[in-house]
Amino acid sequence: MTHEIDDIEAQLRAKGVQVTRQRLAIVNVLRLAGDHPTADEILSRAKLEDESISQATVYRTLAALEKVGAVLKNDFDGAGARFELADRAHHDHLIDLDTGEVIEFHSELIESLQAQIAAELGYEIEWHRLELYARKRPGG
């Protein structure tokens, strides 16, 4: 078990989440994911690590992890829920409308502009989520 998994396990226990072998397998899938997998994709990947994992276990685990803030659930344009660990650095998403690909990005310019707009309106941003829906330019 890696140091990173140990850290995640300790965080979950501190939040009162019962940590099981199956839940750790699901967390590991999310930790290694280079994409934003659906629950069914998480299930198929987790089964490679532990064949006893069921669809119900995945859904219950994702709900429990989301409830304690360990997992973020994204629903990009109604395309179905996709998941990622919440401990990653802040980022925004660009969704390719033709392929469904989800691209993570971070822009200090956007962050600064959002903070400026909020301040001008008398607010301070606690958190935000930015999703850009786009199509590739021809030849792009």
- One domain, residues 63 and 117: no
* Residue 92 annotated as lining a ligand binding site: yes
Q: For 76-110, write each residue's pLDDT tens digit.
A: 766 678 898 887 778 899 999 998 888 989 999 99
The domain containing residue 123 runs over which residues? 92-134
Neighbours of 36 (CB within 10 A): 20
- One domain, residues 52 and 23: yes
* Residue 128 annotated as lining a ligand binding site: yes
- One domain, residues 31 and 77: yes
* pLDDT given at position 2: 62
- One domain, residues 78 and 127: no
Concatenating the DSSP letter of every residue in 11-48 gives HHHHTTPPP-HHHHHHHHHHHH-SS---HHHHHHHHHH
* pLDDT given at position 67: 87
Neighbours of 2 (CB within 10 A): 9
- One domain, residues 80 and 98: no
Domain count, the chain: 2
> Which amino acid, residue 102?
V
* Residue 111 annotated as lining a ligand binding site: yes
Specify the CATH number for the domain of residue 30.
Answer: 1.10.10.10
* Residue 36 annotated as lining a ligand binding site: no
- One domain, residues 70 and 12: yes
- One domain, residues 8 and 68: yes
* pLDDT given at position 76: 78
